[in-house]
Amino acid sequence: VASGHPRPDSVVLWTRLSGADLPDRVEVSWELARDERFEQVVQQGVEVAESAWGHSVHVQPQGLAASRPYWYRFRALGDQSRVGRTRTAPSPDALATLRFAIASCQRWDYGHYAAWRDITAFDPDLVMFLGDYIYEYPTAVGAVRPVQGGRVETLQDFRDRYALYKSDPLLQDAHAQCPWLIVWDDHEVENDYAAMHSERLSPQFALRRAAAYQAYWEHMPFPKSARPQGHDMRIYGHLDWGRLARVLMLDDRQYRDAQVCPRSGRGGSNTVALRDCPELMNPQRTLLGAEQEQWLARSWSTQHPWNLLAQQTLMSRLAGRNRQGDTIYWTDGWDGYAPARNRLLGTAATLKVPGLVALGGDVHAHYVAQLKADYDDLRSPIVGAEFCGTSISSRGPAQSRLDAARADNPHLLVANATRRGSVHFIVDAHTLQADLRAVDDARQVNSPVRSAGRFVVESGRPEVHPA
């Protein structure tokens, strides 16, 4: 069971039937109660789970009370699901606090989910999952736990891979604990894909993307209205947490221009010297697509003390150097779309967007950074803060590379690829407190998880500093 997309008066409840020989259509009844023991059931109903949609169920009860917990469960074919707990968002005029965690990149074969146990124990109001819920690869050499099957390509492959990931009890607990907001990154489809461009230049890519998006919707607590149409599915949008915060969720995969200067004979990312790839500075290119960029420019809130920008990857610049001393960039992240980043942060600066905090995943390292309107100008003002939540289990890059990059990237307060974990946040009208969480050993299901640093952003001041 899972829930998501909490509003002041509604929330999405999700389940999926599994097992052999299910009928094509199965009636699934659901109950929503004010209490854990279901003595005060406030709503109930019946949905039909269809084989065409993976026997998934997405229910969106309306007319709920704001800012309170609810419990839900499902019943079908004589069985009853576990009980999930969820909650609604505060009413628009309420100035409530917000506890949330960001998480991403949970490659099954690279580790266990001790990080999820730690998130559940934090008891957040919300989890923001920022991409790479599954990985499409066959089992890695030296896997901590294997995945079945080869590379994921068909609808059935994707369904099987989700079923495997969702069999993990610590991940199940985290879904049953609170509502999630979810965006994808690349591995829910294929490494480094860009809109309709496949890393492997596969002519069948549109079909694979359609299968991947369908399986994603089937397995996530999105509303029915988000159900994909062919190979398109809108996942970006915003949600308000009362008067405290606006959360803006971005999709940087579905609409992006292809990465520039790829390796010969393939698509996807590369690491290139700016000198050899002037196309990096082409202002026509976009990471979000024109429509989403315009939507975002309209959607910032000047009425809330916090604008939480939940997206896939590191937003701050991470300039490296090659042996010749040239500045190099990785083309898949925001550095591959620097003029688009300047437009986004420039708009935020012009509008004086309060409390801009970017949240990201993808790069398998903890980053804490100052967002700058122009990274080429050291005196450029700080326009916001950034936290990148490392990975639940996926392995990080070499720490030596990040250490070498420190001198060229003075806006980075933390750059640590050695840790698996998440980031926990507690936000009120005055401060946003962040706790970087680090798993001692992601290969151990019972690994302890500890704080690896605390940081604060104060309302009205864009920069982040150590607590």
Binding residues vs Ca ion (CB under 5 A):
132, 185-186, 362
Least distance in angstroms from the C-beta of 365 to Ca ion: 12
Least distance in angstroms from the C-beta of 363 to Fe ion: 8
Residue with tokens 């089937």: 218
Comparison of 105 and 328: residue with beta carbon closer to Fe ion: 105
Q: Quick one: 25 exposed, middle or buried, by C-beta within 10 A (0-12, 13-18, 19+)?
A: exposed
Cβ(425)–Cβ(166) under 8 Å?
no
How far apart, in whole angstroms, are the C-alpha atoms of residue 24 and residue 51? 5
Least distance in angstroms from the C-beta of 105 to Fe ion: 3
Of 101-109, 278-286, 367-375, 401-409, the window that binds Fe ion (rule: CB under 5 A) is 101-109
Least distance in angstroms from the C-beta of 406 to Fe ion: 23
Among 109, 125, 132, 192, binds Fe ion (CB under 5 A): 132
Least distance in angstroms from the C-beta of 134 to Ca ion: 11
- Could you tell which of Ca ion, Fe ion, none binds residue 186, using a CB distance below 5 to 8 A set by kind? Ca ion
Least distance in angstroms from the C-beta of 111 to Ca ion: 16
Cβ(408)–Cβ(327) under 8 Å?
yes
Does 136 participate in binding Fe ion (rule CB under 5 A)? Answer: no
How far apart, in whole angstroms, are the C-alpha atoms of residue 283 and residue 287? 11
Nearest CA to 259 out of 192, 205, 209 is that of 192
Question: Would you give the binding string for Fe ion spanning residues 343-382, x where CB under 5 A is met?
Answer: ----------------------------------------
How many beta carbons lie within 10 A of that of residue 33, not counting itself? 18
How far apart, in whole angstroms, are the C-alpha atoms of residue 305 and residue 244? 6
Q: What is the DSSP string of 355-410?
A: TEEEEE-SSSSEEEEEEES-TT-TTSPEEEEEEEE-BSSPPP--HHHHHHHTTT-T
Comparison of 305 and 360: residue with beta carbon closer to Ca ion: 360
Comparison of 176 and 438: residue with beta carbon closer to Fe ion: 438
Least distance in angstroms from the C-beta of 361 to Ca ion: 7
Comparison of 186 and 199: residue with beta carbon closer to Ca ion: 186
Distance from the Cα of residue 426 to its chain's centroid: 18
Residues within window 393-452 making contact with Fe ion, judged by CB under 5 A: 394
Of 131-139, 157-165, 350-358, 434-442, the window that binds Fe ion (rule: CB under 5 A) is 131-139
Comparison of 342 and 394: residue with beta carbon closer to Fe ion: 394
Comparison of 125 and 335: residue with beta carbon closer to Fe ion: 335
Token output for 59: 């229910």
Least distance in angstroms from the C-beta of 364 to Fe ion: 6
Comparison of 132 and 199: residue with beta carbon closer to Fe ion: 132
Residues across the chain? 467
Least distance in angstroms from the C-beta of 402 to Ca ion: 17
Comparison of 286 and 394: residue with beta carbon closer to Fe ion: 394
- Could you tell which of Ca ion, Fe ion, none binds residue 31, using a CB distance below 5 to 8 A set by kind? none
Token output for 333: 């992240």
- Could you tell which of Ca ion, Fe ion, none binds residue 332, using a CB distance below 5 to 8 A set by kind? none
Q: Quick one: 223 exposed, middle or buried, by C-beta within 10 A (0-12, 13-18, 19+)?
A: middle
- Contact residues for 394 (Cβ-Cβ < 8 A; gap 6+): 105, 106, 107, 110, 111, 132, 135, 364, 420
Cβ(412)–Cβ(404) under 8 Å?
no
Comparison of 132 and 251: residue with beta carbon closer to Ca ion: 132
Among 17, 105, 457, 464, binds Fe ion (CB under 5 A): 105
Distance from the Cα of residue 306 to its chain's centroid: 19
Of 49-57, 117-125, 330-338, 388-396, the window that binds Fe ion (rule: CB under 5 A) is 388-396
What residues line the site for Fe ion (CB under 5 A)?
Answer: 105, 132, 394
